[in-house]
Amino acid sequence: MPINLEDPKKFRPLVGQAHQVAMNMLRPISRKYDRAEHAYPKELDMLAAMIDGLSESGASEGAGAAGVRRDEKETETGVKNGANLASVMSIAEMCWGDVGLLLSMPRQGLGNSAIASVADDEQLERFAGVWAGMAITEPGTGSDSANIKTTAVLDGDEYVLNGEKIYVTAGDRADHIVVWATLDRSLGRAAIKSFVVPKGTPGMRVDRLEHKLGIRASDTATIIFEDCRVPKENLLGSPEIDPKQGFAGAMATFDNTRPLVAAMAVGCARAALDLTRDLLAEAGVTVDYDRPAHLQSAAAAKFLQMEADWEAAHLLMLQAAWMADNRKPNSLEASMAKAKAGRVGSDITLSCVELCGSVGYSEAELLEKWARDSKILDIFEGTQQIQQLIIARRVLGLTSAELK
Ligand SMILES: Cc1cc2nc3c(=O)[nH]c(=O)nc-3n(C[C@H](O)[C@H](O)[C@H](O)COP(=O)(O)OP(=O)(O)OC[C@H]3O[C@@H](n4cnc5c(N)ncnc54)[C@H](O)[C@@H]3O)c2cc1C
């Protein structure tokens, strides 16, 4: 089936609204919360209430991470533009405003995507409206997420969790955390499951917050679990340990979240490109999209090359989300989108600082902030190197044991 390169018409109002919110509500407080690291952006409460209202009225199909869901229904044509596509498009717009603030939006956490991806219908209903962070990383476990040491032991009707999770985005502010833990370390990756833990559960505590290079509006927490008991119904998906399925259960989350992180990078890079084009124009450099780059100034040629990189990342993002909407396996495409967008997002934002010189480097504009913010998008939810490894395995048909 040919790919349609135009944005779906039905999402134009949603994208327009997200752009207005980014411009009028996020941009004006962007610098304030970059400086006031760890201060709660209270302005977002009103915004979250508005988004809830839109979702309830059906006016918004997936305004954020919480909208992501593999739809089971077939459409008449067999092809649909659904919640995943709506989410990446609106998230990109919101990140044109501010990535750190998007990551701080109540009820739009990456844990919400995990719930949406893996939960059964009863759990979906029970956890509707929560704000969930996602806790995978541990002091000894980053890229190698199969190495998780946090344990979950069944005791009567409850699982007892023990372990330490670090770098949990929204870990302090979210009201629930989706925790990855192993049911049995001797059984390897197949025994890793995710558990929804409500804040305030005895045995769970936020230990500290990190100071960071970028996305300073977003809180990043260390969370300790000591004999923390959750009902056994809070395990997401199946409690069976199926070595054939391997890591697939919990990992399915990444197929939905990686396109979202790609969208964040696409939005942040777009912001840098738009401002740089204006600043270049003020300095007398116009970028002509209809003339070959080598006939234009060096600055314009560099700008056109960045536009091409941006477009490639944008299209890969759309493809990965569209495949999720249409229930096509998209692990390869999700990693391709994240790898491309993560890398060019960093390259573009830093190159925009370079093109704008001292104005780019100074706090008078947001360019230097976007260069700091975008770096994390090439690190979390799987680093650049890990995405390339996953892509290589898929393309070459090799297992994780065969290509490490
Ligand atoms: C601001 C921030 C927010 C975060 N939010 C969350 C969150 O919400 N939830 C969560 O669970 N985690 C979160 N993380 C953690 C993040 O996902 C990890 O930092 C990331 O997965 C990398 O793990 P690591 O830092 O342990 O690096 P390592 O895994 O130690 O990697 C170090 C370097 O080695 C490279 N490398 C590793 N293995 C290979 C290999 N096999 N081949 C080639 N190169 C390799 C990596 O690409 C990287 O460049 C966050 C981190 C930050 C900084």
* Closest atom, ligand 1, to C-alpha of 165: 11
Q: 231 C-alpha vs ligand 1 centroid, how far in Å?
A: 30
C-beta of 20 in contact with ligand 1 (< 6 A): no
Which of the listed residues 379, 388, 399 should we mutate to test ligand 1's pocket, taking the one with most ligand atoms within 8 A of CB? 379
C-beta of 337 in contact with ligand 1 (< 6 A): no
* Closest atom, ligand 1, to C-alpha of 379: 20
Splitting the chain (404 residues) into consecutive groups of 10 residues, what average pLDDT does each group show? 76 93 97 96 89 62 50 61 91 97 93 89 94 96 92 98 98 97 91 95 98 98 98 93 68 88 98 98 96 97 98 96 91 97 98 97 98 98 97 95 91
| pLDDT at residue 54, rounded to an integer | 65
| pLDDT at residue 72, rounded to an integer | 53
Which of the listed residues 143, 194, 251 should we mutate to test ligand 1's pocket, taking the one with most ligand atoms within 8 A of CB? 143
C-beta of 379 in contact with ligand 1 (< 6 A): yes
| pLDDT at residue 62, rounded to an integer | 45
C-beta of 137 in contact with ligand 1 (< 6 A): yes
Please name the residue whose Cα sits nearest to atom 11 of ligand 1: 136
* The model's pTM: 0.95
| pLDDT at residue 55, rounded to an integer | 64
Is residue 132 within 8 Å of 196, Cβ to Cβ? yes
| pLDDT at residue 245, rounded to an integer | 66
Please name the residue whose Cα sits nearest to atom 52 of ligand 1: 167
Q: 379 C-alpha vs ligand 1 centroid, how far in Å?
A: 6
Which of the listed residues 138, 178, 383 should we mutate to test ligand 1's pocket, taking the one with most ligand atoms within 8 A of CB? 383
Q: 386 C-alpha vs ligand 1 centroid, how far in Å?
A: 9
C-beta of 212 in contact with ligand 1 (< 6 A): yes
